[in-house]
Structures are given as C-alpha cells and as structure tokens.
A and B are shown apart, each in its own frame.
Chain A
Amino acid sequence: MSRAGAPARPETPVVPGRGARGGRTARPAGLRRRWLVAGFAAVLVAAVAGIAFGPVSLPPGSVAVELLNLVPGVHLHSGLNEREIAIVTELRLPRMVLGLLVGGMLALAGGCYQGVFRNPLADPHLLGVAAGAGLAVTAVIVVRGVTGADVTVGLPVTVPLAAFVGALGAVLLTYLLGAAGGRDRSPATLILAGVAVSAFLAAGQTYLLQRNAESIQEVYSWMLGRLATAGWHDVLVVLPYAVFTTAVVLMHRRELDVLALGDDEATSLGLHPQRSRLLLAAAASLATAAAVSVSGLIGFVGVIVPHVVRMLAGASYRAILPLSVLFGGAFLTLTDLAARTVAAPAEIPIGVVTALLGGPFFAIVLRTTRRVAE
C-alpha cells in the first residue's frame, strides 16, 4: 500500500523528547505478569495469616506446611499437634476459603457493574441486591420468630436461600422496570429502576421490622455481614456459582473495554452492547446473590477493591477483573482476621470492618496515586 520513494505527505515534527519509534516499546493494556504474581502473593499471605492468627495463634510457617499437606501425596511434618491441626483444617480453613470466594465475587461483581454501567460508583447493591436480600431475610426471620419454629411453616426456607432468592428477585424486578423504557433506554434507566426498587423493598423491610421489633437484632447481625457460621457446607454452596460467574465475566472482559467507548461506537465496532451488558450484569448479579446468601451484606468490597486495582494496574478491565478476584479475596480474608481478633473473644461484624478499614485505605491510595500521577 505504501508508495515507493519519499513519504507522500508532509512530515509533521515528531514530539520532542520522544523517539519516533518509542511507541513500539509500548505494550497494550492487559494483565501484567507482575500484578498477577502480586495478586496470588496477596492471596497466599492472606490465607496463611487468616489461618495462623486468631484466639489461638499458630506459627505461620507450620500453618503453611500444614496447608501443603492438603496436597495429595505430600506428607510433611508441621510440628502442630492434633488439636491445632483440627483448628487449621476444620475451623479456619473453610472460613478462609469462604472469605476468598465471597471477597473475590463481590469485588468481581463490583468491577463488572462499573464497566457495564460506565459508572465508577456502581456496586453490587445498586440494582436492589441488598434491599431484596434484606427484605427476604427479614421476612424469614420474622416468620420464624412468630411461629417459633426453626423452619418456616413446613418449608425449609433458610436464611441463605431467602437471601439468594430475594437478591435475584430484586435484580429481576429492576431489569423488568428498567426495560420498560423500550429499546432506546440508557444505562441510567436501569440504575434509576434499581433505586426505585431498592426504596420500595427497603420500605417493606422497615415495616416488617417495625411490626416485629424482637427480630431486629437477628436481622441486623445478618445485614452487617459475617463469615462466622462458615463451614465446608457454605463453601460448597457458593463454589459452583463462584466458578461459573467468574468464568463468564472473565471470558467477556474485553467487551467491557469496548463498552467504555459508548454504545454507538461499540455497535460500530461490531458488538451488541445491550446483549453484552445484560449478560455481564446477569453474571455479576448471580455472583452477588450467591455471596450475599452465605455472608450477609458486606459493603465496600465491590467499590473499593476494583478502584484500588484500577489505580495500581491500569484502567483496562482485562486487568481489573481478574485482579479484583484475587485482591478482593485477600482483602476480605484479612478483614475477617481483623474482625475476629481486634475485640477477641467477641467478633465485630465484618461489614463494619470493611467500611472502617476500607474508607481510610481508599483515601490513602487515592492521595498517593494522585501524587505519583502528578
């Protein structure tokens, strides 16, 4: 295509101080290996710390050895006694794994929503997830209190199941309401629908609580989030959703970069923006609902983690999403460690700790990265 001889157009001067070929060394955005390594390192540190420390502290080295022993075929001597091994494998390990899963899913869902709605403040609770789960759980706890039974009138409706159904139901309602605008609706329509649905469901929850004041404490302890009752059962409940939704979101993460250009340009680049957005938002909602069902409402993770990752590792969703899974999991595991050690033997609700730790941490990162950028 190039014509032989001299360039056919007048040369515009090359930017001073930048070699003409300098850009060849520029690499496309994406997941840098060093950040991936840092993410796995964070998970590893959080995992060992989350298991080693607590009311009974164990040497981290021995804990690491004991974790290696879980790998089939590995038999190493960790120096821990029977009771300590039981603490590691039966109490703290499932709780730590649950923390990794829930934190990873909340952060992934938050990052995903932020891309889908092109709104940096979007988080899993935006579409009514919190309000829906809150109302459903409140209803179950209230009915249980009234009937005095451990299960609701003949139906084995547990709190996690209610939270899951309530969260998904609210998101579905938000979609239906948001879709009422027709084909020309903008992302803002869906967010407004989420606000309306949230307000409506929250009002219902308040009414129920008002009428059944004796349930308030139990409802609030769920709403503030906890990993306390965790056992392998909770892990097994969440695991399939975590694997499925993470796979779906990560496979489509390049589309979020294209969506960042706006719907018109995404369309002219061959994408189907509405379809991509619906698929990604549905996957993120499913991840959130699964997380909420076992952990209650843990705020801040979905907003803070993706933002910190964005500031550190770049604005491409190809980096933000996988790293959010890793750093979100590590963050929640460490937060849980703080929640159960700071006021030991009592436990602080983990949702309170995420907000208390997350807020200042976010402010520090915001300040330092801005200084670096300047």
Chain B
Amino acid sequence: MTAPTGSTAPTGSTAPTGSSAPTGSSAPTGSTVPAGVAVEVADLGVTLGGARILTGVSLSVRTGEWVTVIGPNGAGKSTLLRAVGGLLPASTGSVSLFGTPIARLRRRDRARTVATVPQSPVVPAGMAVLDYVLLGRTPYVPPLGRESAADLAVAYDVLDRLDLTGFAARPLATLSGGERQRVFLARALAQGAPLLLLDEPTSALDIGHQQEVLELVDQLRADHGLTVLATMHDLSVAGEYADRMVLVAAGAVVADGPPRAVLTDDLLGTHYRARVRVIEGEHGPLVVPVRTRRPAS
C-alpha cells in the first residue's frame, strides 16, 4: 500500500524544513519573516455583516507543526480558519502563508499552498469518490483544460494512501461518516498543498473514528511534512494531537502554548464557563467535565 517512489507524492515531497515553501520564499517582505513559518497572522481583524468577529488576532504556525485552535462556540475559530484559507478578507491586519501575504497570492497559487477541509463539506449528488478527489487537482488543471494523466496518478496515489482505493467508483453519498471524512481529507491532499486547514475534522465521528482520522492526519503530516492548523471541540483529543494550542475567546487570542499550558482549570473555567478537572495523561492533559452540583438524590 505504500505509494510508488515516483514523483507522484501529493505534495511533491515537501520536506519539513520550510525551505521548500511553494512561493520559493521570495516574498518582498521576506526579510522580516523567520524561516520555516507556514502561517503568520498579525493583528487580524475580521468584520462580517457589521459585526466584529475577530480583533487583533496574532498567531504563527511553524512549518510541520500541528496547531489546534480551541474556544467556546461563537469565539471565532472557524472565521479565523477561513481568513487563513483566504475565504474571508481581513478588515485589519494581515495573513501571510510561507512568507507571502495572502492578498498577493493569485487564487490558483493560493489553492496550491493551502487546502481546507470544511466542517461539513457539500456531498454532491451522484459524484463518485474518485471524481471528488480529482476535483482537488483543480488548481493544476489549465483554465479550459482537463485533468492530465499525472493528476489522475496523484488521485489514485492519495486514495491508496488513505485505504480508499476500493471505494473509488462508489458514490460519495453512500459512504459512512468515517469513510467520508477520509475522502474529504483525500481531496485536500490531492490539492498538494503543504498547509492543511481542518475545521472540526472529527465533530461528526465516534471516538474510534476520531482517533483513526487524527492518527491518519498525523501520519500524513510526518510523511509529507505538512503543516496542520485545526479547530476542535473535544479538548482532550485536541490536546493529544496538537503540538501547540491557541485558545480563542470573544474574537481574541487569550492563550497560546503547549497543551499543558492552555488546558488548565483556570483558563477553561474562565472562557468556556465550564467546571472541569484536568488530569495528567500519557501524552498530555485530559479534560474531564465535572458537574457543578451533586445531582439530587
């Protein structure tokens, strides 16, 4: 099942050194950007329909790192991810990918740099898994052209990597939740972008499939030197996989650091208004919700 050693690797064998940033790190303002920074968000503000969703958000993600954004509902996690993916314009501040301001990237170049798996992707009626994954090659297909044999090879390769080969001809709509999530991931990987944005990648999955998908992402990250920026609700699971966590509340960053520093009774109590107990686990802190009052007996 290992992929052929050819050049069909989805990311073109991007090494996790950061030197192979897709834009060749030839950004005009590159001198101020430290090498190996995949995402640089500086003082970002986003306004949607007159409402201020994000204010003064700054964060950076190193190449090859896994950073998970957490925060209560409505904190602005998804908005932050959409701004990093170039789907929302910044009202103030800036977003740079691999040293290039996102506003300066052309659409197709941006699509080759950052791939997004949205929270609940549209499942087009009647579309087969292979065709869905092939759509990930859109940034490489000439404007009026069609997929090349190389694009097809990449799609097959990704399907192979994700154990989806047997599903290639099946309509996407007939797959289970866990299988679909793998397909969504496959399409993003087919995009060949070194930066992967995952918006609640496990929210629709049971605990076993959550682990399966996240293990897969972690493995792909190691194999292809991908950088992962995710949002997640399940704090314990999030802490197990993230190198670093960013706690967003009311549109601003309130904590940023390794899981141990972010997942604390205090921070979670303040910003989630939740009563939790944080237990030291094997790979990181585990968050256990605790009922405020004893149930009446």
User: Measured between alpha carbons, how far is A370 from B168 in the docked complex, in Å?
Assistant: 22
A113 to B134, CA, bound (A): 23
Interface centre among A8, A270, A318 (most CB of B within 10 A): A270
* Interface pair A269/B121, CB less than 8 Å apart: no
CB A189 to nearest CB in B, in angstroms, measures 15
Interface segment, one of B33-41, B65-73, B216-224: B216-224
**B222: which A residues are within 8 A, CB to CB?**
8
A22 touches B122 (CB 8 A): no
- B159 interface contact, C-beta 8 A: yes
Across-interface contacts of B215 in A (CB, < 8 A):
9
The verdict on B166 contacting chain A, using a C-beta distance below 8 Å, is yes
Contact B107 A271 (CB under 8 A): yes
Once the chains are docked, how many angstroms separate the CA of A258 from the CA of B111? 13
Q: Name which of A97-105, A200-208, A309-317 contacts chain B.
A: A309-317
Residues of B with C-beta under 8 A to A150: none
- Which of A1, A2, A24, A28 has the most chain B CB atoms inside 10 A of its CB? A1
Contact: B127 with A20, CB < 8 Å?
no
- B-facing residues in A210-258 (Cβ within 8 Å): 251-252, 254, 257-258
Judge whether A254 and B146 touch: CB under 8 Å.
yes
Q: How large is the interface on A (under 10, 10 to 19, 20 to 34, 35 or more residues)?
A: 35 or more
Residues of B with C-beta under 8 A to A19 = 166
**B134 A28 Cβ-Cβ under 8 A:** yes
Assess whether B146 is in contact with A20, with CB atoms less than 8 Å apart.
no
Residues on A with beta carbons closer than 8 Å to the beta carbon of B288:
none
User: Which residues on the A side are within 8 Å of B191 (C-beta)?
Assistant: 269
Known A9-B219, A265-B121; contact A252-B130, beta-carbon cutoff 8 A: no
Q: How far is the CB of A26 from chain B (nearest CB, A)?
A: 4
When A23-B130, A23-B156, A254-B141 are in contact, do A15 and B166 touch as well, CB less than 8 Å?
yes
Binds A, one of B5-13, B232-240, B241-249, B252-260: B5-13
Interface check A14, CB cutoff 8 A: yes
CA distance A30 to B1 in the complex (A): 28
Q: Are B135 and A1 neighbours in the complex by a CB distance under 8 Å?
A: no
Chain B residues with Cβ below 8 Å from A9 are: 215-216, 219
Chain A residues within an 8 Å CB radius of B295: none
Which residues on B sit within 8 Å (CB–CB) of A314? 126
Find residues 8-61 in chain A having any chain B CB closer than 8 Å to their own CB: 8-9, 11-12, 14-15, 18-24, 26-30
Give the docked Cα–Cα distance between A276 and B131 (Å). 20
Is A3 an interface position by the 8 A CB rule?
yes
Cβ-based interface call for B152 (8 A): yes
Known interface pairs A28-B152, A272-B107. Does A260 touch B219 (Cβ–Cβ under 8 Å)? no
Contact of A24 among B85, B86, B165, B212 (CB under 8 A): B165
Complex: how many Å from CA A252 to CA B146?
Answer: 10
Q: Verify if A262 is at the interface (C-beta below 8 Å from B).
A: yes
Residues of B within 8 A of A252 (CB): 144
* A268 and B128 contact, CB distance less than 8 A: no
Measured between alpha carbons, how far is A104 from B218 in the docked complex, in Å? 51
Given A15-B166, A268-B85, also A316-B131 (CB < 8 A) = yes
Min CB distance A19 to B, Å, is 7
Q: Is B138 a contact partner of A258 (Cβ separation < 8 A)?
A: yes
Interface residues in B3-43 (C-beta closer than 8 Å to A): 3-5, 9, 11, 13
Residues of A within 8 A of B169 (CB): 22-23, 26
- Given A7-B1, A14-B166, A252-B144: A261 in contact with B122 (beta carbons within 8 A): yes
User: Could you say which of A15, A23, A261 contacts B124, with CB atoms under 8 Å apart?
Assistant: A261
Complex Cα spacing A18 to B5, Å: 25
A82 within 8 A of B: no
Q: Does A90 contact B (CB under 8 A)?
A: no
Q: Which residues of A (329-358) have their CB < 8 Å from a CB of B?
A: none
- In this complex, which of A12, A20, A258, A268 has the most chain B Cβ atoms within 10 angstroms of its Cβ? A268
CA distance A133 to B122 in the complex (A): 36
Contact of A315 with B125 in the complex, beta carbons under 8 Å: yes
Could you give, for residues 133-166 of chain B, a 1 whenever the CB lies within 8 Å of some chain A CB and a 0 otherwise? 0111011010010110000100110010001111
Q: Smallest CB–CB gap between A317 and chain B, Å? A: 10
Is the CB–CB distance between A23 and B163 below 8 Å?
no
**Set B87, B114, B163, B168: member contacting A26, Cβ < 8 A:** B168
Q: For the complex, what is the distance from the CA of A270 to the CA of B146, rounded to whole Å? A: 15
Residues from chain B with a CB closer than 8 A to the CB of A257 are: 124, 127, 131, 135
Partner of B2, one of A2, A15, A184, A315: A2
CB distance from B209 to the nearest CB of A (A): 11
The reply to whether A269 and B167 form a contact with Cβ atoms under 8 Å apart is: no
Question: Is A147 at the interface (CB under 8 A from chain B)?
Answer: no
As a 0/1 sequence over residues 86 to 115 of chain B, the CB contacts with chain A under 8 angstroms (1 = contact) are: 110000000000000000000110111011
**A26 surroundings in chain B (CB, below 8 A):** 128, 130, 168-169
Question: Is B231's beta carbon under 8 Å from chain A?
Answer: no
In the assembled complex, the CB of A257 is this many whole angstroms from the nearest CB of chain B, namely: 7
B118 proximal to A (CB < 8 A): yes
8 other contacts beyond A12-B212, A20-B1, A20-B165, with CB at 8 A cut-off?
A2-B4, A20-B166, A252-B144, A261-B121, A267-B107, A269-B138, A269-B139, A270-B111
Please list 12 pairs of residues, one from A and one from B, whose beta carbons are closer than 8 Å in the complex, sorted by A's number: A1-B3, A3-B2, A9-B219, A21-B165, A23-B167, A26-B128, A27-B130, A29-B128, A264-B118, A267-B87, A267-B107, A271-B138
Q: Which 7 A-B pairs have the closest CB atoms?
A: A23-B168, A315-B126, A270-B111, A18-B166, A1-B9, A26-B168, A23-B165
